[in-house]
Structures are given as structure tokens and as C-alpha cells.
Amino acid sequence: MSLARAPKLATVERWMQAVVMHPEGAASGVRAGPARRLMPQAAVDLETVVLPSKALSSVERLDIYAHMYYARLLEILTDEYPTTKQILGREAFERACRRFLRRHPSRHRTLNRLSEKFPAFLARHLPPGNRGRLAVDVARIERAMEDVFDAPQLELLTAAGFAAIGADQWQRVRLRVIPALRLLKLRYPANDYMNAVRAKGKPRIPRPRATYAIVYRRGYQVYRRDQMPEQFKLLSALAAGRTLAAAVRSSIRGRRASPEQLAAMLGAWFRDWAAAGLFGAS
């Protein structure tokens, strides 16, 4: 090819990207609209753009990159969503991943955020039914585990530090929830299901039941567990920046208990949360 006819670098890059990111492989990618509009001659005679080797045709050489693109990103998604995959089965999971990657290709230099829209994507695209809805809930937990893994560390509020907050301060004190905490209101007992998968392998798909999960990191270990609805409401109010007094009021409104019982209950909750490291020191 003469220099005068050589395609511009920007055109070559956009063309190659369109080809190797095509979900049906390089041969389809070369013929598809985006690549064809950039370099129509490639669709007619690919060898004018990519040379064959002694052993491989031009399209086979492009297919090495096309295969690696999906293989690499599928491996990432499989690592991040093992229980989602278990629920959907390998074939349906990988089909969903490919559709997701086509709709939401990576726009970041690191892979940490590749799948941040995956649970919402599954919610929109999985067929209705218990299996699909459970998969969405589990995917939300698995994504939250990725998020908290990378979240910043804070100096933590200890149980003693919490106990030192006098009752007279509750009206103005706002606890700082750690960045490595996610609160997930779910339609299924997804956390229990994940535990059962870890323990036994393949539990039955449960019926819908509202659950309230927290996912958090303590030190460098990621944890997940369910909370009671009132606990979840209280943590959510604190995370939203409400004062301690306002958050407590909103969460226990309507609960029948003596002041002593309430104080004991709240004390136990906060000791547990402080031990889990859910609040920052300042």
C-alpha cells in the first residue's frame, strides 16, 4: 500500500477496536457497520489492511485479539460474580456478560469499575422469575464486595469512643459511616443463599423475602451479613448524615419497648457495629 493511501492512525485504531470488540468475532466485526464505515476497503479485501502470516489468515490474526478481549473480561466478571454465575449457569451468565460488555465496554484504565453497572444491567435484562431476581440480589452483594475491597480506610470509632458520647450530645452528633460500608435492601434472602452455596454447593432457589444486608471491610477482610429492618433503617439514617438522635428516632418509631429495653438494645447494636468497625473516629 502506498503512503498516500495509508489510513490515518486514528482511523486504524478506531477500526481495529470496533473489529476486536465485536461480540461475534473479527469476521463479523470487519463486516459490521462501525468498522465498515471507518475502512470500507477492509470489508472487501481485509489483506489490504492486515497482512496474513504464513500460518494464519488476516481475519484469524485479528481474531486472536477479539478472542482475548472477551476472554479477559469474562474472566474478570467470573471472578467477581461467582454466585451469580452459579445461579444463572455458565451459559446464561456468559451470555449476559457478553451483552453487558457490548453495552458497557470498559471506560477506565483500571478494571475495578468494569462491572459497576452489571447488577443494574441484570435487573433490566434477566427474564422475570425467582432465579433471575435472586441473581440480581446476589450480584448486588458481589458488586458491593468489590466496592468495599477498594474503599479508603478510616481511623475507627471504638466501642469505648461511642460510649463516651453523652446522651446530651445525641441531638447534634453525626456518626461518620466508613466508606467501606454498603447497605443493601434486597428482595430475596441472598446473603443466606450465598452462605449456603459456600457450605453445600447448590441450594434451592428461595422464595422472595425482604432482607437487609450490609457489606463492609474490617481491616483488609470483606464481610457481609444481614441486619434486622430497624438496624438497617438506623444505619441508613446515619449514613445519610442524620444526627444520632434523629436516626434513632426514625428507626425505632412504633417499637413497643420500655426506655430501658430500648437503651439496652441500642447499646448492643452500637457495640456490635463499633466492633465491626462501621464508624470513623471523626
Partner 1 sequence: MTRISLPNRWNLPDLGLGVGLRTQHFRHITEQWPAMDWFEILSENFIDTEGRPLHFLDQIAERYPIVMHGVCLSVGSTDPVDFEFLDKLRALAARVRAVWLGDHICWTGVAGLNGHDLYPVPYTEEGLRHMVSRVRIIQDYLERPLVLENPSTYLTFASSTMPEEEFIARLAVEADCALLLDVNNVYVTCRNHDLDPAAYLDAIPYEHVVQVHLAGHTDNGTHCIDTHDGRVIDEVWQLYARVHERTGGRATLLEWDANVPKFPVLQQEVGKAARFRNGERLAATSAAA
Burial class of residue 130 (count of CB atoms within 10 Å of its CB; 0-12, 13-18, 19+): middle
* In contact, 102 and 176? CB cutoff 8 Å: no
Using CB under 8 A, pick the residue from 27, 43, 111, 123 that binds partner 1: 111
Stretch binding partner 1 (CB under 8 A), from 92-100, 111-119, 160-168, 240-248: 111-119
Query: Using CA atoms, how far apart are residues 90 and 96, in angstroms rounded to an integer?
Result: 10
* In contact, 31 and 78? CB cutoff 8 Å: no
Distance of CA 236 to the CA centre of its chain: 19
Using CB under 8 A, pick the residue from 24, 89, 90, 105 that binds partner 1: 105
The reply on whether position 100 binds partner 1 by CB under 8 A is: no
DSSP tag of 4: G
Nearest to 276 by CA among 193, 150, 149, 181: 181
Distance of CA 272 to the CA centre of its chain: 26
The reply on whether position 271 binds partner 1 by CB under 8 A is: no
The reply on whether position 103 binds partner 1 by CB under 8 A is: no
The reply on whether position 49 binds partner 1 by CB under 8 A is: yes
Using CB under 8 A, pick the residue from 22, 29, 30, 69 that binds partner 1: 69
Stretch binding partner 1 (CB under 8 A), from 55-63, 115-123, 130-138, 170-178: 55-63
What residues numbered 121-150 form the site for partner 1, per CB under 8 A? 149-150
Nearer to partner 1, 109 or 172 (CB): 109
